[in-house]
Amino acid sequence: MVGGAIPINRDWRAPTRGIAIYVESNGVHTALILPKVAGGVDWRGLVDPRDLRDPRYAGYDHVAIGWGERRFFLDTPTWWDVRPATILAASIGSDATLIHVEHIPAPAATDPDARRIILTPAQYARLAAFIRASVAPGGRRYRGYFDNDAFYEARGHYDAVRTCNDWTGDALRHAGVRIGGWTPFAVTVMGWFPG
């Protein structure tokens, strides 16, 4: 919690105009919600509609992108599926990671689980570069939990120090957004963006 309270990019102030993104949380895991096309960045090349069970969901205008350990992602479609052995294996460490992409509409302003952040085009370009660098080129693709999501082979090492939430924090730090220096928990990410 202390690492999440020490700010990086202290001088960052949200611009009054720019590209709206969101950070979301289900209480345990965070992800970034991004417009499919904005600021010269087009995510449609990464997220092929054929990767979805129902390609019609590719018509949504936003994607939610998160990063995590492969076995944890693929073996736990619901919290009821979480097993202590899966948690322990992920905590010890794994180089098998995935990017999870959900095709969704823009969050409602009243959504308590999504916080809006405005970025300049340059900040958004840095964020996009960080995310793209996390994807393994030519890697495997996996069907998701539902009709609107898919998994893509990723780069990076996951463990108790480098978690899915720290990846979200790293992406925002790379973009230049003020956030804690180490964000291993959802609250250490979301706490920087009051609802």
- Write the pLDDT tens digit of every residue in 63-121: 999 999 998 889 876 666 667 766 666 677 889 999 999 999 999 988 999 999 999 99
**Residue 9 binned pLDDT confidence (cut-offs 50, 70, 90):** very high
Question: Is residue 44 a contact partner of residue 37, using CB atoms and an 8 Å limit?
Answer: yes
Q: How far apart are CA 97 and CA 90, in angstroms?
A: 10
Residue 149, domain member (yes or no): yes
Q: In total, how many domains does the chain have?
A: 1
Residue 195 falls inside a structural domain: no
Instruction: Judge whether residue 166 has pLDDT over 80.
Output: yes
> pLDDT averaged over the chain?
92
Domain enclosing residue 29, as ranges:
2-190
Is 127 part of a structural domain of the chain? yes
pLDDT class of 195 with cuts at 50, 70, 90: confident
* Residues 192, 195: Cα–Cα separation, whole Å: 10
Note the pTM of the prediction, 2 decimals.
0.93
Give the per-residue pLDDT at 91: 73
